[in-house]
Structure 1
């Protein structure tokens, strides 16, 4: 058994402990005990008043599927040959040896969701992985973890720019509806011939996985929520850049939201009103929110930095920590395994030189399932 002593522990649930030792056994958190109960039978790490937090989680990335420093050879995140591609699975395009995974571990990020890009109206299935390993199948926490869809500028630009549907926002929404209806018909007919695209979309209709919808502008968010009501499906809103404008309406729809990458530039019209107050407005409205880097749009090593900016703009430290730990785990539907320091959960944790909300603090040690990575 491993005992981490003398750390200032933030458990991800809003609690802070200074007089407890964290016990890890067989890759799981087992308990917090008084330091004086730690005996020589433990393998001891003396954290010397450093800070210990759960491993960080980024809910929206293209890690390993959009490889850095490689160019077109490593660009496997957008299958732009068609605007509707629900048969795709991100897991088939992830390179676990890509340098971004190393950056993630060095920055305290232990779990990520990897998804197709936002060029297509429907982009395909996504997967949740731990950030250590060389074999994707062994890194998987949950696959599929959702179906990617995108509204707004991106599908219009990628496909409308080639002179094919969708050219307008109406066309984007119409294609999404048409494919969902096709999947409904497929379910009702119980056809013997398998159709992978409709099989995958059927998982959304049966609420086995959520539809995760890229939507920046307020009107696109409203379209997403309209489709949620029409088809009675589970949904998350991804990015939600103008969510602050309609936060009370979003709160009526029981959706979880990822916000970001707010550290990026205003590179397109949809981002002209981006800002750090968005996430506070959404949280104040009672919405479960997570922060994201959308790696590689913003490097995954800036996930904790994003939380610092959110604190500067009104979030408490505990709220900010939860946006990249427990709230993020709930966003992905894996809160039974990660996101907080609780007995029975995976022993994913980070030891920092100081407060993770101090930009001068360094990630000193990172553990995934009890193993230092």
Structure 2
């Protein structure tokens, strides 16, 4: 009989229900440990793809996959609910070419018979066999900084010389997961020469690239001939030729880092000469080659960065010569043109994605908004963050939009992502939820801040859901000066009706309410943590009980403004 009473009580539901359901407790909203595999973000404004208007709906996802979306979605009991009434949800951003999380490999030792005019490939920075996965670390600060900026997937490029190796597509999620989506997705290349040896100059790099490509083609032809014809000498495929074969055979593209218009012209010239697939990455100054890019059909990843305006701000208006004024005007003209480049790509009909190479995470959204102020449409800006890079990387079936069956990768903001006052509050990556601090907004015209605490004083009726059933009671909150006190009722684990306990550590930050209370169940003392998001007179949140997990909780303010 006592056991039956225990199951019926509030604490008993947590103990008996979740000792038997421990198997599905895997992670939590910090992204380090999931409490449940199933989440629902309710009643949020969702922008499922570029160009679509925002619609109020709920997203349901399980084990990192979207399993439903709609305004009247039926939610399973095990779904942990996150109130999204005041939130805006976008597809997770995709970085087309990145160095986030990449560590620099050790320089190989030079052989004793080293000749600077003809160095071994590895010494000269020609290492196409290397993989970015061998250099990538998910725990680096750079990864977290770009995730905080909204990026959920990155194609990372290895560090090295003119041909540093193969790129990999990584999910920027949980550090304990296997984060590789796809290896060897492209060959990374650039026009940086080797120090103190050949190829030291850009012209030398171009000549060496031609040599490597041509010799790989000859080696492949020789291998095919050896396989089909007797009496042919056995070919010797070097590691360079073997690794370059995928490019020569058209299986993967070459991602050429080309910041300037001159480097873009050189890369396109090599592509036209040999016919390989080409992606230009890290473009910074490209206005004069937009027509060439379009005619060549080259995929483009422009830098998510705008020029520094210090030179403009430091211009003096008084006591300057006519020549200085003319120089100021030229600098200002060049600066204004640089800001409009992205819009010119859009007008030319060239789809592009973004690359974070050499960009700063903290300046990303500022740069994007600056591009929009200078002619780039919001639709194209969002496409450059989502659908365009997904297409370029060949992952459009799994990412880039919010659809049933795709990866649960979202950017969740406090307002339209393109507004100055908007802040990223959560980023969902592979179904893991990462929470970020939202700063209080400035005081508005009526003397109140938009982020002032929600009104929580009063009597609330709450209901919690666990795999063992539902439970509920009353929550009373009173405000005394700047502090909050109150009580909560719950079913007595011993079966003797309702029990009332004081609440403690009550905190209100904007629309977020947190507090704790203690439960005694059969001699066991438990601390229950409540976290909720308040919208009007409703609260959507979670109830966490130590090792037993976290469960959905909803509440309604039935009698506002009680005092003790």
Q: Given the two structures, how large is their TM-score scaled by the length of structure 1?
A: 0.85
User: Residue 252 of structure 1 aligns to a residue in which SS?
Assistant: helix
Query: How far has the Cα of 1:125 moved from its partner?
Result: 0.8
Q: Is the 8 A contact 2:87 2:414 kept in 1?
A: yes
2:89 alignment counterpart: 52
Structure 1 stretch 53-62 or stretch 35-44: which is displaced more? 35-44
1:317-362 per-residue CA deviation (whole Å, 9 max, x = no partner) reads 1211111111121222211111111222111112111121124322
For 1:178 and 1:217, how far apart are their aligned partners in 2? Answer: 24
Contact 1:29-1:347 at 8 Å conserved across structures: yes
Pick the aligned partner of 1:28 from 56, 65, 74. 65
2:400 equivalent to 1:330 = no
Aligned twin of 1:98 = 140
Distance change >3 Å, CA 15–CA 56, structure 1 → 2: same
RMSD: 2.6
Give the Cα–Cα distance (whole angstroms) in 1 for the partners of residues 263 and 355 of structure 2.
19
Structure-2-length-normalised TM-score: 0.57
Q: 1:65 to 1:26 in 2, by over 3 A?
A: closer
Counterpart of 2:295 (choices 224, 237, 252) is 252
Equivalent-residue separation in structure 1 for 2:107 and 2:403 (angstroms):
38
Q: Secondary structure at the match of 1:16?
A: coil
Q: Which runs of 4+ in 1 moved over 6 A?
A: 77-80
Measure, in 1, the Cα distance between the counterparts of 2:198 and 2:95.
32
Match of 1:311 among 372, 395, 413: 372
Q: Quote the Cα distance in structure 1 between the aligned partners of 2:124 and 2:176.
A: 29
C-alpha distance in 2, partners of 1:288/1:120? 29
Name the residue aligned to 1:109.
Answer: 151
Aligned to 2:127: 85
Residue 76 (str. 1) matches residue 137 (str. 2): no
Contact 2:282–2:356 (Cα < 8 Å) also in 1: no
Q: What CA distance in whole angstroms lies between the structure 2 residues aligned with 1:111 and 1:302?
A: 18
Aligned equivalent of 1:280: 343
After superposition, the Cα gap between the structure-2 partners of 1:180 and 1:40, relative to the gap in structure 1 and judged at 3 Å, is closer
Alignment of 1:91-240 (within 5 A): 91-117=133-159, 120-134=161-175, 138-151=178-191, 154-155=192-193, 159=194, 162-190=195-223, 195-240=238-283
Contact 1:58/1:303 (CA < 8 Å) preserved in 2?
Answer: no
Whether 1:358 and 2:419 are equivalent positions in the alignment is: yes
Segments of 5+ residues of structure 2 without an aligned counterpart are: 1-37, 109-121, 224-233, 310-333, 435-564
- Once the two structures are superposed, what CA deviation does each residue of 1:160-218 show, in whole Å capped at 9, x if it has no partner? xx342234432221111111111111211226655332222111112221100011222
Quote the Cα distance in structure 1 between the aligned partners of 2:349 and 2:88. 29
> How far 1:146 sits from its partner (Å)?
0.8
Change (3 A) 1:261 1:104: closer
Whole-angstrom distance in 1 between the partners of 2:85 and 2:186: 41
Q: Is the CA contact 1:62–1:77 (under 8 Å) kept in the aligned structure 2? A: no
The corresponding residue for 1:64 is 101
Relative distance call for 1:247 and 1:312 in structure 2 (3 A) is same
- Structure 1 residue 32, shift from structure 2 partner: 2.9
The number of residues matched between the two structures is 348
* Maintained 8 Å contact 2:408/2:429: yes
Distance 2:188 2:73 in 1: 49
In structure 1, what is the Cα distance between the partners aligned to 2:75 and 2:125?
A: 61
The alpha-carbon deviation at position 129 of structure 1 amounts to: 0.4
Q: Measured at CA, do residues 261 and 107 of structure 1 come closer, stay the same or move farther in structure 2, by a change above 3 Å?
A: closer
Aligned-partner Cα distance in 1 for 2:379–2:260: 28
Question: What CA distance in whole angstroms lies between the structure 2 residues aligned with 1:78 and 1:213?
Answer: 22
**How far does the alpha carbon of each residue in 1:215-259 deviate from its partner, in whole angstroms, 9 at most, with x for none?**
122232122112112211111011233321121121011221111
Higher relative contact order (CA 8 A, sep 6+): 1
* Structure with the bigger percentage of helix: 1
| 1:70 aligned residue | none
* Partners of 2:107 and 2:254 in 1: CA distance: 17
Question: Cα–Cα, structure 1 residues 227 and 205, in superposed 2: closer, same or farther, change >3 Å?
Answer: same
Structure with higher Rg: it is 2
The question of whether the paired residues in 2 share the 8 Å contact of 1:262 and 1:275 is answered with no
Question: In the superposition, relative to structure 1, how do residues 17 and 78 fare at CA in structure 2: closer, same or farther (>3 Å)?
Answer: farther
State the distance in 2 between where 1:215 and 1:255 align.
Answer: 12
Quote how far apart the aligned CAs of 1:371 are.
Answer: 2.5
**Structure 1 residues 335 and 176, CA gap change in structure 2 (3 angstroms):** same
SS in 1 for 2:185: strand
